[in-house]
Amino acid sequence: MSSKKPIATGIKKGREYLLCQCGLTDMPPFCNGAHRKTKHLPFRYVAIETGMVNFCCCKRSKTYPLCDGAHKSV
């Protein structure tokens, strides 16, 4: 993931999402398996509600994996 800005994504309650932690995915914010050549593992997130969320891409959010606006000071 090259951008530090959050990525708005529609999610469904109860569904599991694997979020990229290695930066190599070509479908951010989601893992596409590219981490297999690294020591990184994806972050598992289970949605607690259905709707739009902003997934954090700067990794400084105190509410990770959801954005809290921390990217504005990166």
Residues that bind ligand FES (CB under 6 A): 20-22, 24-25, 31-35, 40, 42
* Helix (H) or strand (E) run with residue 53 in it: strand 51-55
Q: How far is the CB of 45 from ligand FES (least distance, A)?
A: 12
Query: Measured from the CB atom, is 38 or 50 closer to ligand FES?
Result: 38
CB 55 within 8 A of CB 29: yes
Q: How far is the CB of 37 from ligand FES (least distance, A)?
A: 10
- What is each CA distance from 47 to 4, 10, 19, 73, 74, in whole angstroms? 22, 10, 12, 27, 26
Q: How far is the CB of 16 from ligand FES (least distance, A)?
A: 14
